[in-house]
């Protein structure tokens, strides 16, 4: 199949269904087709992703294409340079389909908090696709792209992957360059792939990972090729009681899927061991302080001066700032900026931001201790199956609690992989989370592949 | 007034002499088309990340070693949050809790040791240009690397403050950390000034004075502020904690903003930049390879060349001046003392008169040393020397060295042989017979008068010593 034919199938799907799903904020058909034809004209494969269609979350820069990060604040903005991950995809021969919808600046778990339009779950249009990379997940699930890039700060790749029946990887912090990626919480943000299979995720991951001189937090740890496996003899899978038996609000059907996943892995030779991650219950609080504190500074540049939206005829400089930001930033973004500003304020910083940083170190220690007993951890991603649009929109705290299982690996900086493990009684997809040791993505992917094929043998 | 003493501490911002900015590869320079030296990083575009320039670290470490600081093997960059149009990210990257250098000191002219609290790295902001049609922002300066050197409030007089600043500037320039140009703002000084009763331990309310762009401004602004604060106290009022700007034209400080509502900058570690770790061996290498610092140089001048303090201070005030001096006298150490005095008393004035830069003198040093030597040996008279310098410095058609050499050649040699001097001496003694009688009666000081008269006849080109000797022989023989 040519790159052009492949792309045209995606574009046809977008034309037919994206009016309803709203996975994309921007599709440049002309540029994408020109790129596909150019690749088809080449006699040799351009690279490992030759002719494959990839959708890019709209907080990742593609030179000359609009980039809004889901915010009306950035309507009309186009970055001058490609993000490093985009440059690597292009060098590997990928065809970029378009920019995908997201919760504004990555702040949300359902993609209902996009500044433009909510995205719907292609598997059930009454339900959310998860978030904040909901547009990326929906695009792949609907066949509008072979794979997609998302970003994950506290679960924003893993949870939408789970909600749309996909695989999705949040790499180790520092593994993938953040250069050209709109920052939400810089110490947590990582770019990663979403795709139908773990093996496809691995192909994209191998292209985008690696040290980048433009990102001082990216690290130079050699990438190991994945050794695909058939059995898991000798592998120790950790099960944290905080993720299963002692987990608050974990849906019965989700729990049943995770238990079946564990049984499947044991059946393939893995040993199951019980571990404890005692600080898990503090993870949500720590995450929402650290992430919002960093966001409060990261989003200060959206002041209406150099780019983005500016209020008309402000009487004073203060009015320019406050009106531009109040008009163009969504309520959830404003809520998080205020929370983060408060957490950093004089007199409160010790009790909030600093304390959250101490909890973060304890959470990282929990994982370090667990690695003495197991190679990977397995648990849930979301405590519940995809919910209906509007169901949780009025209750921010209820929405935050949906991140209970995904934020701890983010705080610890360890890699985590979403793997589809079947459906619930309403035929909604359920995902399991495999959590790995730092920079051990290869192990994570190999185990994830075995797990996915246990449920869907054709997903090789 | 005498019952009060001032407590003064300086905060000095020095622009580092790097080719590129602190977190991107844009060029550091002055002037140019507004916003021409910018990129996504220093414009604060979405997704742009800072990457630390290694040369910045090198220079900050030199500044720390030169001022006796303890260089920290681990330091951390932090974000200082505030909104302003010339601050593109809405925060400044600086160092807060863990700066790169701590606890240094400077030796002042009066022998006092003034302590340095810390030196930290930070990025400069852009410039807001306020005009009639509104405010425009130029971000060429945004991201220029700075060190901020924070002094303890150990200074008590305007002169001590100037001495501290001169010493600090000398060190930074010697080490190639900063060009030291206060007028262009590459070295900027803010002063915290408060008054208290002599003998009182507690500090008074502190006022921060900004906008001083010369040593003179620093001295005058602090002196003004001291008088103003004593006046406020004498009126029975309280000094307000505030920031004031020095207005050089009106020779006064003016209130800029009240600090009563202290800004909360919400400092926290910048997650885009990992902690900065220095290698211990690298650091020791840096320490071992420091050049001679101004204090050591002044000691050497006093010890080896017997220069007085004033002359040594003057030479060391501009390290390139002392460098050129050292190079020039290396082969003529016996002339060093008189040459230093010659530079200070004769050459400095010519430079100012002709508005020439010091670098001209550096180039002409060997010629100046030769001229100075001839003058000291009597081969050039005072008058001839003045003419040579005037002609040389006034000649902008060629290099100063070449111009001086030309003037020197044109001046020719002094007349010193008796055969040439004798007719003139005889004529002068004949013309002033009254004075001759007075001299012979014991008014020996008239010798100067006779020399002067003879010198005038000889158009100032005689060897004064030979002339005096001949006159004495004739008068007393």
A168 is a domain residue? yes
Within A83-142, where are the H helices? 84-91, 134-141
Helix residue ranges per DSSP H, B197-256:
215-234
pLDDT at A114: 98
CA B162 to centroid of chain Cα atoms: 10
CA distances B455 to B63, B447, B449, B464, Å, are: 55, 12, 10, 8
Mean pLDDT of chain A: 96
In a domain, A215, yes or no: no
Closest by alpha carbon to A291, among A283, A302, A280, A301?
A: A283
The answer as to whether A220 is a domain residue is no
And the tokens for A118?
A: 């909510």
- A97 close to A194: Cβ distance less than 8 angstroms: no
pLDDT score, position B384: 82
Q: Distance, in angstroms, between A310 CA and closest chain B CA?
A: 13
Tell me the CA distances in angstroms from A267 to A228, A230, A342, one per residue in order.
Answer: 17, 11, 50
Q: What mean pLDDT do residues B216-245 have?
A: 94
pLDDT at A117 over 60: yes
User: Residue A38 has which token pair?
Assistant: 């150019």
- d(CA A137, CA A168) in angstroms, rounded, equals 9
Q: Considering its fold, how many domains does chain A have in total?
A: 3
The pairing of beta strand A376-380 with beta strand A429-436: antiparallel
Q: Are B379 and B413 within 8 A, CB to CB?
A: yes
The DSSP bridge pattern shows strands A271-275 and A236-240 to be parallel
Rounded to an integer, the average pLDDT of A361-382 is 98
pLDDT-derived band at B1 (thresholds 50, 70, 90) equals: very low
Torsion of CA B152, B156, B161, B164, to 10 degrees: -60
- Please report whether residue A218 resides in a domain: no
Contact B145, B22 (CB under 8 A): yes
Pairwise pLDDT comparison (A306 vs A45), residue with the higher score: A306
The reply to whether A339 and A260 lie within a common domain is no
Burial class of residue A60 in the structure, from the number of CB atoms within 10 Å of its CB (0-12 exposed, 13-18 middle, 19+ buried): buried
- pLDDT of A384 over the 90 cut: yes
Interface contact A185-B271, CB threshold 8 A:
yes
Pair A382, A339 in one domain: no
Angle at A162 between CA A160 and CA A167, to 5 degrees: 95
Cα A96 to Cα A76: distance, rounded to the nearest angstrom: 20
Is A397 in the same domain as A306? no
Do residues A230 and A370 touch, judged by C-beta distance below 8 A? no
Q: Token digits for B137?
A: 């922002």
Please check whether residue B272 touches A, CB under 8 A. yes
State whether the Cα torsion B42-B48-B53-B56 is positive or negative.
positive
**pLDDT, tens digit, for every residue of B404-463?**
888 787 777 777 777 777 888 888 888 898 988 898 888 888 888 988 888 887 777 778
The SS3 call for residue A417 is strand
Give A249→chain B minimum CA distance, Å.
Answer: 33
- Of A180, A216, A349, Cβ closest to residue B47: A180
Task: Report pLDDT digits (tens) over B270-327.
Answer: 999 999 999 999 999 999 999 999 999 999 998 888 888 888 988 898 888 899 899 9
H/E stretch holding B40 reads: helix B40-43
Task: Band the pLDDT of A460: cuts 50, 70, 90.
Answer: low
Using the Cβ of B263 and the Cβ atoms of chain A, whether some distance falls under 8 Å is answered with: no
B390-397 LR contacts (CB < 8 Å, sep 24+): B390/B350, B392/B364, B393/B350, B393/B351, B393/B353, B393/B354, B393/B356, B394/B354
- Which residue in B134, B120, B114 sits closest to B56, CA to CA? B120
- Spatial separation of the C-alpha atoms in residues A62 and A55, rounded to whole Å: 11
Select which of A110, A156, A296, A382 is catalytic.
A156
At B297 the three-state DSSP class reads helix
Are residue A261 and residue A400 in the same domain, yes or no? yes
| pLDDT top residue among B256 and A286 | A286
Q: Are residues A185 and A88 in the same domain?
A: yes
Output phi, psi for B334, to 5 deg: -65, -20
Tens-digit pLDDT profile for residues A425-446: 999 999 999 999 999 999 999 9
Torsion sign, CA atoms A286, A291, A294, A296: negative
Sheet holding B207-212, edge to edge: B70-71, B101-107, B113-123, B145-151, B4-15, B187-197, B207-212, B242-247, B252-258
pLDDT, tens digit, for every residue of A74-109?
999 999 999 999 999 999 999 999 999 999 999 999
| In contact, A386 and A163? CB cutoff 8 Å | yes
Backbone angles phi, psi at B375, to 5 degrees: -65, -45
Residue A189, domain extent: 3-208
Say if the Cβ atoms of A307 and B88 lie within 8 Å.
Answer: no
pLDDT of residue B462: 78
pLDDT tens, residue by residue, A170-207: 999 999 999 999 999 999 999 999 999 999 999 999 99
Q: Name the catalytic one among A57, A99, A170, A392.
A: A57
Tokens of B210: 């900004």
> How is residue B151 written in tokens?
């002094």
Name the helix (H) or strand (E) containing B127. strand B127-131
Mean pLDDT calculated for residue range A262-278? 97
Residues A146 and A183 in one domain: yes
Question: Are A295 and A184 a contacting pair, CB within 8 Å?
Answer: yes
Mind listing the pLDDT tens digit for each residue in B106-158? 999 888 999 999 999 999 999 999 888 888 999 999 999 999 999 999 999 99
| Calpha distance A188→A411 (Å, rounded) | 7
Residue A268 located in a structural domain: yes
Other CB atoms within 10 Å distance of the CB of residue B53: 21
Q: Please check whether residue B10 is in contact with residue B191, taking contact to mean a CB–CB distance below 8 angstroms.
A: yes
Residue A446 maps to a domain: yes
- Could you tell me if A119 and A194 lie in one domain? yes
Closest CA to B410 of B365, B453, B380, B451: B380
Q: What is the mean pLDDT of residues A225-239?
A: 96
Residue A405 pLDDT class (50, 70, 90 cuts)? very high
Counting Cα atoms < 13 Å in the Cβ hemisphere of A285 gives: 12
Question: What does the pLDDT average to over B262-266?
Answer: 87
**How would residue B259 be classed by pLDDT, with cut points 50, 70 and 90?**
low
Report, as an integer, the average pLDDT of A369-393: 96
A81 & A18 share domain: yes
Query: Is residue A225, in this structure, part of any structural domain at all?
Result: no
* pLDDT value, residue B258: 64
Same domain, A248 and A123: no
Q: Which of B266, B269, B276 would best serve as a mutation to test chain A binding (most A beta carbons within 10 A)?
A: B266
Per-residue burial over A146-157, b = 16 or more CB atoms within 10 Å of its CB, e = otherwise: bbbbbbbbbbbb
For residues B277 and B73, is the Cβ–Cβ distance under 8 A? Answer: yes
Q: Is B282 on the interface with A (CB under 8 A)?
A: no
User: Quick one: closest CA in B to A183, which residue?
Assistant: B47
Q: Are B148 and B13 in contact (CB under 8 A)?
A: yes
Give yes or no: residues A248 and A312 share one domain. no
Look at strands B187-197 and B101-107 and give their pairing.
unpaired
Do A331 and A431 reside in the same domain of the chain?
no
Q: What is the dihedral of CA A377, A381, A384, A388, to 10 degrees?
A: -170
Contact A80 B45 (CB under 8 A): yes
Phi, psi at residue A67, to the nearest 5°?
-140, 115
Residue B13 phi, psi dihedral angles, 5° rounding: -100, 125
Average pLDDT over residues A1-29: 97
For chain B, percent of residues with pLDDT exceeding 70:
98
Q: Name the residue among B89, B137, B273 with its Cβ closest to that of A300.
A: B89
Q: Which of B170, B162, B171 lies closest to B189, judged by CA?
A: B162
pLDDT of res. B457: 79
| Beta strand pairing call for B187-197 and B207-212 | antiparallel
Closest CA to A49 of A62, A35, A63, A59: A35
Domain containing A410 — which CATH number?
3.90.1300.10
A156 is catalytic: yes
Has residue B2 got a pLDDT over 60?
A: no
Helix %, strand %, coil % for chain B, to 5? 45, 20, 35
| Cβ pair B391, B407 in contact under 8 A | yes
Using the structure block, give the residue that is written with the tokens 């008279």: B381
Of B47, B268, B273, the CB nearest to A353: B268
The tokens for A363 are 């959470």
Q: Which residues of B touch A216 (CB under 8 A)?
A: 49-52, 272-274
Please tell me whether residues A176 and A113 are part of one structural domain. Answer: yes
Residue keyed to tokens 């589809």: A420
Say yes or no to pLDDT of B257 above 80: no
Q: Is B77 on the interface with A (CB under 8 A)?
A: no
* Beta carbons of B161 and B10 less than 8 angstroms apart: yes
Q: Is B313 helix (H, G, I), strand (E, B) or coil?
A: helix
CA distance A149 to A194: 6
Q: Is A96 part of a structural domain of the chain?
A: yes
Q: Which residue is listed with tokens 């139908």?
A: A196
Q: Which residue has the tokens 């990928």?
A: A94
- Enter the DSSP assignment of A353: I
Mutate to test the interface with B, among A67, A85, A174, A179 (most CBs of B within 10 A): A179
B77 near B270, Cβ under 8 Å? yes
User: In this model, does residue B253 exceed pLDDT 50?
Assistant: yes
**A63 — pLDDT class (breaks 50, 70, 90):** very high
Q: In whole angstroms, how far apart are CA B408 and each of B247, B385, B393, B433?
A: 46, 8, 12, 37
Nearest to B81 among A59, A182, A297 (CB): A297
Q: How many CA atoms, within 13 angstroms, populate the side-chain half-sphere of residue B264? A: 10
């Amino acid at each position: 199949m040519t790159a052009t034919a492949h792309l045209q199938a995606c574009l046809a799907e977008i034309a037919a269904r994206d009016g309803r799903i709203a996975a994309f904020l921007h599709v440049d058909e002309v540029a994408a087709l020109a790129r596909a034809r150019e690749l088809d004209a080449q006699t040799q494969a351009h690279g490992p992703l030759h002719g494959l269609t990839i959708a890019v979350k709209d907080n990742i820069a593609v030179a000359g294409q609009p980039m809004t990060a889901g915010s009306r604040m950035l309507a009309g903005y186009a970055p001058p340079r490609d993000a490093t991950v985009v440059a690597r995809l292009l060098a590997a021969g990928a065809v970029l389909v378009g920019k995908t919808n997201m919760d504004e600046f990555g702040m949300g778990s359902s993609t209902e908090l996009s500044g433009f339009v909510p995205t719907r779950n292609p598997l059930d249009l009454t339900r959310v696709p998860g978030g904040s990379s909901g547009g990326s997940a929906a695009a792949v699930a609907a066949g509008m792209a072979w794979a997609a890039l998302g970003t994950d700060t506290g679960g924003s790749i893993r949870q939408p992957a789970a909600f749309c029946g996909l695989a999705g990887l949040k790499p180790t912090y520092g593994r993938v360059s953040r250069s050209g990626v709109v920052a939400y919480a810089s110490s947590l943000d990582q770019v990663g792939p979403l795709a139908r299979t773990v093996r496809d995720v691995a192909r994209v991951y191998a292209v985008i990972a690696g040290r980048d001189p433009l990102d001082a937090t990216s690290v130079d740890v050699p990438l190991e090729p994945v050794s695909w496996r058939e059995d898991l003899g000798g592998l120790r899978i950790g099960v944290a009681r905080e993720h299963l038996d002692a987990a608050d609000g974990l849906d019965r059907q989700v729990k049943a899927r995770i238990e079946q996943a564990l049984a499947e892995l044991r059946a393939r030779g893995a040993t199951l061991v019980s571990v404890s991650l005692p600080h898990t219950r503090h993870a949500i609080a720590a995450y929402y302080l650290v992430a919002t504190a960093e966001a409060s500074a990261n989003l200060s540049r959206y002041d209406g001066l150099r780019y983005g939206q500016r209020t008309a005829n402000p009487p004073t400089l203060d009015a320019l700032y406050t009106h531009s930001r109040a008009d163009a930033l969504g309520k959830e973004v404003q809520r998080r900026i205020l929370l983060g500003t408060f957490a950093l304020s004089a007199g409160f910083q010790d009790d909030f931001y600093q304390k959250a940083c101490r909890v973060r170190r304890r959470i990282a220690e929990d994982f370090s201790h667990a690695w003495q007993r197991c190679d990977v951890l397995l648990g849930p991603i979301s405590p519940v199956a995809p919910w209906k649009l509007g169901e949780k929109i009025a209750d921010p705290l209820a929405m935050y609690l949906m991140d209970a299982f995904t934020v701890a690996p983010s705080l610890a900086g360890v890699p985590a992989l979403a793997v589809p493990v079947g459906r619930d009684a309403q035929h909604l997809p359920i995902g399991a989370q495999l959590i790995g040791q730092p920079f051990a993505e290869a192990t994570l992917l190999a185990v994830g592949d075995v797990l996915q094929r246990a449920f869907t043998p054709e997903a090789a | 007034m005498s019952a009060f003493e001032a407590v003064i501490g300086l905060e000095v911002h020095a622009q580092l002499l790097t080719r590129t900015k602190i977190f991107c590869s844009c060029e550091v320079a002055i002037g140019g088309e507004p916003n021409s030296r910018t990129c996504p990083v220093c414009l604060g575009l979405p997704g742009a990340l800072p990457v630390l320039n290694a040369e910045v670290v090198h220079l900050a470490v030199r500044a720390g070693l030169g001022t006796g600081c303890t260089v920290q093997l681990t330091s951390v960059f932090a974000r200082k949050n505030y909104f302003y149009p010339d601050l593109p990210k809405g925060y400044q990257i600086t160092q807060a809790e863990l700066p790169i250098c701590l606890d240094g000191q400077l030796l002042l002219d009066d022998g006092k040791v003034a302590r340095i609290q810390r030196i930290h790295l930070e990025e400069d902001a852009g410039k807001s240009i306020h005009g009639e049609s509104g405010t425009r922002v130029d971000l060429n300066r945004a991201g220029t690397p700075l060190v901020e050197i924070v002094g303890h409030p150990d200074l008590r007089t305007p002169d001590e403050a100037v001495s501290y600043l001169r010493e600090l500037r000398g060190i930074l320039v010697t080490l190639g950390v900063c060009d030291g140009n206060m007028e262009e703002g590459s070295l900027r000084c803010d002063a915290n000034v408060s008054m208290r009763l002599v003998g009182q331990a507690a500090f008074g309310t502190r006022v921060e004075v900004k906008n001083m762009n010369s040593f003179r401004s620093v001295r005058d602004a602090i002196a003004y502020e001291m008088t103003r604060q004593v006046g406020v106290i004498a009126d029975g009022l309280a000094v307000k904690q505030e920031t004031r700007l020095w207005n050089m034209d009106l020779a006064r400080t003016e209130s800029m903003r009240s600090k009563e509502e202290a800004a909360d900058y919400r400092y926290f570690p910048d997650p885009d930049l990992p902690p900065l770790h220095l290698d211990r061996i690298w650091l020791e290498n840096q320490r071992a390879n420091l050049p001679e610092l101004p204090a050591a140089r002044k000691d050497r001048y006093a010890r080896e060349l017997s220069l007085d303090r004033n002359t040594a201070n003057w030479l060391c005030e501009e390290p390139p001046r002392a460098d050129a001096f050292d190079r020039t006298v290396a082969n003529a150490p016996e002339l060093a003392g008189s040459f230093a005095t010659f530079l200070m008393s004769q050459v400095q004035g010519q430079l100012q008169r002709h508005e020439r830069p010091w670098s001209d003198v550096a180039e002409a040093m060997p010629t100046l040393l030769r001229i100075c030597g001839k003058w000291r040996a009597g081969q050039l008279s005072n008058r001839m020397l003045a003419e040579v310098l005037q002609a040389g410095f006034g000649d902008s058609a060629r290099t100063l060295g070449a111009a001086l050499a030309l003037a020197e050649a044109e001046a020719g040699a002094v007349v010193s042989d008796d055969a040439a001097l004798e007719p003139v001496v005889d004529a002068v003694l004949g013309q002033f017979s009254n004075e001759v009688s007075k001299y012979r009666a014991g008014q020996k000081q008239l010798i100067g008068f006779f020399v002067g008269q003879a010198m005038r006849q000889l158009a100032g080109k005689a060897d004064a010593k030979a002339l005096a000797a001949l006159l004495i022989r004739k008068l007393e023989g």
